[in-house]
Amino acid sequence: MKNGVVIVGAGHAGVQAAASLREDGYDGPVILVGDEDELPYHKPPLSKTFIKDAEAKPQPLRGEAFYTGSAIDYRPGVRIDRIDAGRRSLDIAGGGALAFDHLILATGS
């Protein structure tokens, strides 16, 4: 297993899936991709906070140290255009591909 687990979606479910893999002893590659450019953040509280404070900053789900310390390869700003299940590969918007052994889709609602 050289390509490991790729998790598409860097919201609550995707971040927790990555954390759970490590907590359960999985030691292969874990790649978490999200189409936003910052660390995954708490979205529901953010919308309520903006009602009160337009300059509020998003609160990350986990700090950057979590991803590096857990050997989770977080790739922000990555949008997936197509899944090729036969080749076990994801086509990345703008070019390129990302191979996987296991795929978790955690794209939210």
Spatial distance between the Cα atoms of 85 and 35, rounded to a whole number of angstroms:
21
- Span 94-103, average pLDDT: 98
Q: What is the pLDDT of residues 11-52, one digit of tens each?
A: 999 999 999 999 999 999 999 999 998 888 767 655 555 566
Element (H, E) at 44: helix 43-52
Residue 59, domain CATH: 3.50.50.60
pTM over 0.85: yes
In the chain, how many domains are there? 1
Please state the rounded mean pLDDT for residues 58-78. Answer: 92
Contact present, 78 and 94 (Cβ < 8 Å): no
- Domain assignment of residue 88, given as a range: 5-105
Q: Identify the pLDDT of residue 49.
A: 56
Cα–Cα distance for residue pair 85/93, rounded to 1 Å: 17
